[in-house]
């Protein structure tokens, strides 16, 4: 059975963003929007163990790189702490994070349910001198989300419902969550503090993305609603770090080029998914695993040159939605296939780092593999 855009209820806050979420749209049209709603309702059961696996690895990797215990950090891919969905080369992590976010920072990522606009998950991360050092989470059943804004009387989880946009909600949340940060980690009470507001669909779409370049470009899509004629951010920092905000004012192409250079030296990574997340999806939503991960890699992964010259649907035109004109127009469809580089699906989902940049338009082979695996599980190939 096929599904259409009109099947998605108009009450879904981010319905108009669907053309920007190619992986979620693929799920929608093949499996229906209701399965995404079910996944959002079910995901708190795995968010903590999944994040624990990723963030503990990120922090331990950064520590061993700084201590000089990693022999080839320039051949290693790990994840950033802000946000924990972007690949970064081991030797670039500290400098990039310090440049973008400063010396000492807490960022609290606040995830909203697209279907009722309530907050259902909070992740706080702390970095010192560009190095990730600590994190904590609060899920939908955590009493923290029941805490009330001292002046307005709203529960934390209700603040986005009671405000007009993500920016206003973010500043109201700072009133409450900055105090929470100070209670939990008083040693960092004078550190800079940001709120990262993100809708669940935005987070899920990037988590499904296997290309680090596509993930970076999709961040630009979410923070430039003005370009797409959309009413609000899909995700945003509040307040914005100055340099990062400046970068977002570039074109999609230039932003992706700058961020690709900053995070991986312009090299290409097939992003990993942890065993916790893989097993949870296979056991609970095997059809989503098949559509979002297996078929994506079987059909091929866009290389950097595909990403920077891709044209997205024109979301300012009514006919785009009326006629479901949601196709992403790449320069060509000669995407990277796993068999070309001689790796299996099982190997690819643990992460592959490749000597391929935005100028490479040839056919890749196994000689392009720099390393396999993510973080301290990395195995250098070339």
Domain-located, residue 302: yes
Q: pLDDT tens digits, residue range 112-170? A: 999 899 998 899 999 999 999 999 989 888 999 999 888 888 899 999 999 999 999 99
Question: pTM of the prediction?
Answer: 0.95
Can you give the pLDDT at residue 55? 87
Question: Domain of 334?
Answer: 271-380
CA atoms within 13 A on the CB side of 121: 19
Claim to verify: residue 253 and residue 332 sit in the same structural domain = no
pLDDT of residue 1: 55
Cβ burial 206-241 (10 Å sphere, 16+ → b, else e):
bbbbbbbbbbbbbbbbbbbbeebebebbbbbbbeeb
Low-confidence ranges of the chain (pLDDT < 50): none
Residue 123 backbone phi and psi in degrees, to 5: -125, 125
pLDDT value of residue 15: 95
pLDDT of residue 152: 84
Do 190 and 311 reside in the same domain of the chain? no
The answer to the question of residue 17 being in a domain is no
Helix-then-strand count for the chain, H and E: 18, 11
| DSSP state at residue 231 | S
Same domain, 219 and 367: no
Domain count, the chain: 2
Same domain, 132 and 224: yes
Phi, psi for residue 16 in degrees, rounded to 5: -70, -10
Asked whether residue 159 falls in the same domain as residue 260, the answer is yes
58-92 tens-digit pLDDT? 999 999 999 999 999 999 999 998 788 899 999 99
Question: Are residues 195 and 135 located together in one domain of the fold?
Answer: yes
In a domain, 374, yes or no: yes
User: Is 315 a member of any domain?
Assistant: yes
Tell me, yes or no, whether 30 lies in a domain: no
Beta bridge pairs of residue 199: 112
Whether residues 144 and 251 fall in one domain: yes
Domain annotation covers residue 182: yes
- Domain shared by 375 and 257, yes or no: no
3-state secondary structure of 318: helix
Give a yes or no: residue 153 inside a domain.
yes
Distance between start and end Cα atoms, the chain: 46
Residues 250 and 154 in one domain: yes
């Amino acid at each position: 059975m096929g599904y259409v855009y009109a099947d998605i209820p108009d009450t879904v806050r981010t319905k108009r963003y669907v053309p920007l979420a190619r992986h979620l749209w693929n799920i929608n049209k093949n499996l229906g929007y209701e399965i995404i709603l079910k996944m959002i309702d079910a995901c708190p059961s795995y968010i903590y163990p999944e994040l624990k696996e990723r963030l503990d690895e990120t922090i331990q990797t950064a520590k061993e790189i700084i201590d000089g215990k990693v022999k080839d950090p320039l051949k290693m891919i790990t994840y950033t702490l802000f946000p924990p969905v972007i690949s970064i080369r081991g030797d670039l992590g500290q400098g990039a994070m310090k440049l973008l976010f400063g010396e000492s920072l807490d960022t609290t990522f606040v995830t909203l349910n697209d279907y009722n606009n309530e907050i259902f998950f909070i992740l706080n991360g702390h970095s010192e001198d560009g190095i990730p050092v600590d994190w904590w989470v609060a899920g939908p059943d955590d009493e923290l989300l029941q805490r009330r804004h001292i002046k307005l009387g709203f529960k934390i989880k209700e603040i986005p419902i009671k405000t007009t946009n993500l920016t206003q909600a973010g500043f109201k949340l700072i009133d409450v969550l900055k105090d929470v940060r100070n209670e939990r980690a008083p040693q960092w009470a004078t550190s800079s503090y940001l709120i990262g507001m993100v809708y669940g669909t935005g987070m899920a779409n990037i988590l499904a993305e296997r290309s680090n370049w596509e993930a970076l470009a999709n961040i630009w899509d979410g923070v430039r609603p003005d370009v797409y004629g959309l009413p609000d951010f899909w995700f945003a920092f509040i307040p914005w770090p100055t340099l990062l905000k400046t970068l977002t004012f570039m074109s999609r192409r230039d932003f992706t080029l700058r961020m690709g250079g900053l995070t991986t030296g312009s090299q290409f990574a097939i992003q990993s998914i942890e065993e916790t997340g893989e097993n949870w999806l296979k056991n609970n939503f095997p059809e989503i695993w098949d559509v979002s991960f297996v078929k994506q890699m079987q059909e091929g992964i866009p290389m950097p040159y595909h990403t920077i010259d891709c044209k997205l649907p024109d979301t300012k035109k009514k006919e785009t939605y009326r006629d479901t004109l949601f196709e992403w127009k790449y320069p060509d469809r000669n995407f990277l296939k796993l068999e070309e580089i001689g790796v299996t699906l099982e190997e690819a989902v643990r992460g592959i780092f490749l000597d391929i940049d935005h100028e490479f338009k040839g056919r890749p082979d196994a000689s392009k593999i720099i390393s396999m695996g993510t973080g301290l599980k990395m195995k250098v190939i070339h």
